Structures are given as C-alpha cells and as structure tokens.
Amino acid sequence: MKKLIISLFVVFLFIGCTVVSVPTCEQNQTFTMEFTNGTNSPYDLYINDQYQQVINARSKATYDIPSGYWSAEVVQISGYTLYPTDVFYSNTYESCTNYYIVF
C-alpha cells in the first residue's frame, strides 16, 4: 500500500508539473520591426549604424532588433533629381512588441 501511494504521488507530481514556454523574443530581449518601402526607388537600410540590406521599391523587410534604444536610417539609392532622400528613425521599445515603418 505504501508503494502504491508513493507511485501515485510521483505520477501526480509529474502530471502537475508543466513546462512553461518562454517566447523567443523574451529570451532574446528583442522586438520586431517591419520596414516597408512604398516608393518606386530602392533604399539602403541601416539599423544601429550597421548596413543591413537594400530594400527594393514596393517591398518589405522584417528584423528582430534588441529592445531598448535603437536607430534606423533609410537612404535612397537612385531615382532622385538632386539629393537622395535620407530619413532617420529612432525610439526606445520593449521586447516582444511589433512596429512598422513605411517610407
């Protein structure tokens, strides 16, 4: 009888323990930013002063960025008359949030 009670206790202990899954964004302390180029010209994308990629006309790029202060800059590559469009964005965001920038 004692072995049965111990066995049942062990079974209920394992059933009662659930594994709580922590989202990746919380583990990595990141937020998601989607950059959308709504123009007819390609743009260079810089995040935290580091070159990321060219975002072609009418396309999107999504990045997971470390939470806290961040900055992004988009610089027009072609399709301008005198000077390229150069736009700078910055803010402070918490992890596990989603944001969108359309330029």
In a domain, 37, yes or no: yes
Q: What is the pLDDT of residues 6-17, one digit of tens each?
A: 555 555 555 655
Instruction: Give the pLDDT of residue 20.
Output: 78
- Look up the CATH number of the domain holding residue 69: 2.60.40
Overall number of domains in the chain = 1
* Domain enclosing residue 89, as ranges: 27-102
What pLDDT is attached to residue 63?
98
Per-residue pLDDT, averaged over 90-99, amounts to 97
Q: What's the confidence (pLDDT) of residue 89?
A: 98
Q: Would you say residue 27 has pLDDT above 60?
A: yes
35 inside domain: yes
Mean pLDDT over residues 3-30, rounded? 71
Any domain includes 13: no
CA atoms lying within 13 Å on the CB side of residue 37: 23
22, pLDDT greater than 70: yes
Q: Is residue 40 part of a domain?
A: yes
22 part of a folded domain? no
Domain contains 91: yes
- 7 inside domain: no
Phi and psi angles of residue 90, each rounded to the nearest 5 degrees, phi first: -160, 155
- Domain membership flag for residue 52: yes
- Residues 6 or more apart whose CB falls under 8 angstroms from that of 38 comprise 58, 102, 103
Mean pLDDT of the chain: 90
Contacts of residue 6, Cβ cutoff 8 Å, sequence gap at least 6: none
CB proximity list for 45: less than 8 A, separation 6 or greater? 35, 51, 52, 53, 54, 55, 61, 72, 73, 74
The Cβ of residue 30 has, within 10 Å, a number of other Cβ atoms equal to 20
What does the pLDDT average to over 41-59?
A: 98
- Mean pLDDT, rounded, for 73-95: 97
Residue 2: is its pLDDT beyond 60?
A: no
